[in-house]
């Protein structure tokens, strides 16, 4: 595991205390793509923030992951508006196309697929996001071509 990026983050944020835990984890995740346990253990040793404290926070917030994530994140909405307009069939299509279930990452590391409670764009229902891009008024058969644009 490359320790240098974590070291840079710790230097930039110095001095790091317990109240910096969430931004620290966000920076680490942005850099590594996820939160590797070995990196966190060393960060704990250097900062004195217990690994137990980190783990409590990491498992509480959906934004953090200790498993490697895909280069792109797909978020399919399962909110009320999307649900009544066929959101489930869109999510099913994503799962079928990629061959993975909700919460999983493709073998080639290209996509992580999640469903979320609401994306706040009900007027576009049914909707999904790929990274920071919205795709609305979806139909299952559109999924393939959308994903093709994310190598």
Partner 1 sequence: MADQVLLTIDERRVTVAAGSTILEAALGAGIDIPHLCHDPRLVPTGACRLCIVEVEGERGLQTSCSRQAANGMIVRTNTPAVRALRRTALSLLLSEHRITCTTCDKDGDCLLQDYAYEYQADESLFPNVSPRPGQPNYTTGNAAIEYDPSKCVRCQRCVRFCSEVQMAEALTLRGRGTQVEVTTGFDVELNNSTCELCGGCVNTCPTSALYDRPAKGLGRRRDLVKVRTTCSYCGVGCQMDLNVNRKLNRVVRVTSEPGCLPNDGNLCVKGKYATDFISDRERLTKPLLRVDGSFREVSWDEAIQAVAKGLTALRDQYGPDAIAFQSCSRCPNEENYLMQKLARMAGRTNNIDQCATTCHAPTVAGLASSFGSGAMTNSIAEIKNVQTLFLIGANPTDAHPIVGLEMKKARRKGARLIVCDPRETWMASRADIHIKHRPGTDNMLINAMMNHLVATGRFDRRFVAERCEDFDAFRANLEAYPLDLAARVCGVDADLIRKAAEWYAEGTPSSIFYTLGITEHTCGTENVQNLANLAMLCGQIGKESSGVNPLRGQNNVQGSCDMGAMPAHVSGYQKVADPAVQQKFLAAWGLPLPTNRGGRITDFIEQAGAGVLKGLYCMGEDLIRSEPNSTKVAEHLSKLQFLVCQDIFMTETAKLAHVVLPAACFAEKDGTFTNTERRVQRIRKAVEPPGEARPDWQILCDVATAMGYPMSYAHPGEIWDEMARLSPSLAGISYERIDKVGLSWPCPSKDHPGTQFLHKGSFPRGKGLFHVIRHRPPAEEPDKDYPLILSTGRTLYNYNVGNMTLKSPAISQKQSQNFVEMHQEDAARLGIQDGDMVRVVTRRGAVTVAARVACKVNPGALWMPFHFAETSTNLLTNDAFDNITRTAEYKCCAAAIQKP
Contact call for residue 59 and partner 1 (CB under 8 A): yes
- Please give the size of the binding site for partner 1, defined by CB under 8 A: 14
DSSP state of 105: B
- Contact between 12 and 23 under an 8 Å Cβ cutoff? The reply is no
Residues of span 64-123 touching partner 1 by CB under 8 A: 66
Question: Does position 56 bind partner 1 by CB under 8 A?
Answer: yes
Tell whether residue 53 is a contact of partner 1 (CB under 8 A): yes
Q: Which residues contact 126 (CB under 8 A, 6 or more apart)?
A: 77, 82, 85, 86, 87, 90, 136, 137, 138
Q: Binding partner 1 by CB under 8 A: which of 11, 12, 14, 52?
A: 52
Interaction residues for partner 1, span 22-41 (CB under 8 A): 37, 40-41
Q: In the chain, what are the helix, strand and coil shares in percent, each to the nearest 5?
A: 50, 15, 40
Residues that bind partner 1 (CB under 8 A): 37, 40-41, 44, 50-56, 59-60, 66
């Amino acid at each position: 595991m490359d320790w240098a990026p974590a070291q840079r983050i710790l230097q930039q944020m110095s001095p790091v205390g317990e109240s910096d835990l969430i931004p620290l984890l966000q920076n680490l995740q942005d850099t590594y793509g996820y939160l590797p346990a070995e990196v966190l253990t060393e960060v704990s040793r250097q900062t004195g923030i217990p690994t137990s404290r980190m783990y409590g926070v990491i498992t509480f917030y959906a934004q953090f992951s200790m498993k490697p994530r895909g280069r792109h994140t797909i978020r399919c909405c399962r909110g009320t508006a999307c649900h009544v307009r066929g959101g489930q069939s869109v999510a099913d299509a994503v799962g079928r196309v990629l061959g993975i279930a909700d919460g999983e990452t493709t073998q080639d590391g290209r996509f992580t697929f999640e469903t979320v409670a609401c994306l706040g764009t009900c007027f576009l229902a049914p909707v999904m996001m790929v990274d920071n891009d919205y795709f609305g008024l979806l139909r299952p058969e559109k999924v393939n071509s959308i994903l093709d644009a994310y190598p």
